[in-house]
Amino acid sequence: MVAAHRYAQAILDLAQTQNATEEVYKNAQDLLSILKANRDLYNFLKSPLIKSDKKEKILRNLFEKNIHSILIQFIAILCKRRRENILPEILNAIISEYKQRNNIITAQLITAFKFDEELKKSIIEKIKKIKNASQIELQEIVDESLIGGFILKTESNQIDTSIKTQLQHLYQKFIQTNSLN
């Protein structure tokens, strides 16, 4: 969404002038997590039946003490313009824009068992080198069905060395070979 991206850029530019980009980024992550976890709050935000000024008052009361004033003021502006329904998209755009500006890459590591810290650090360093990133946000997922190996997903790539996938490929070759005979 173009509007969300423009709002995100403006918010981060303003935050940068106040040396608050890190805090605004973390607040955006927190707010988005809250909206995802609380379906009632999400529906409240999206509802056309609830007046925008009421939404602004409730959101201000909920978050004013824990969220940077830049975001509180921005939410108030969104409500005044009756655009509060796009807040989740704007929060996503803030997070994406911050990561882009700071050369942060999100990677997802799916393994059959939990990796130890040493191996995790090694993987992060290799991703940094390959992607030329300053920081890696690694999301770890344990999926015992992989049997062994791992799946590593970044924004544009996926490396799958799992035994499960290798067995599936062997099975497909076996079926193809047997169907040709």
> By the 8 A CB rule, do 49 and 69 touch?
no
pLDDT one digit per residue (tens) for the chain, 181 residues: 799 999 999 999 999 999 999 999 999 999 999 999 999 999 999 999 999 999 999 999 999 999 999 999 999 999 999 999 999 999 999 999 999 999 999 999 999 999 889 999 999 999 999 899 999 999 999 999 999 999 999 988 999 999 999 999 999 998 888 766 5
Angular region, 154: left φ>0, alpha ψ -120 to 50, beta rest: beta
Phi first, then psi: give them for residue 103, nearest 5 degrees. 55, 45
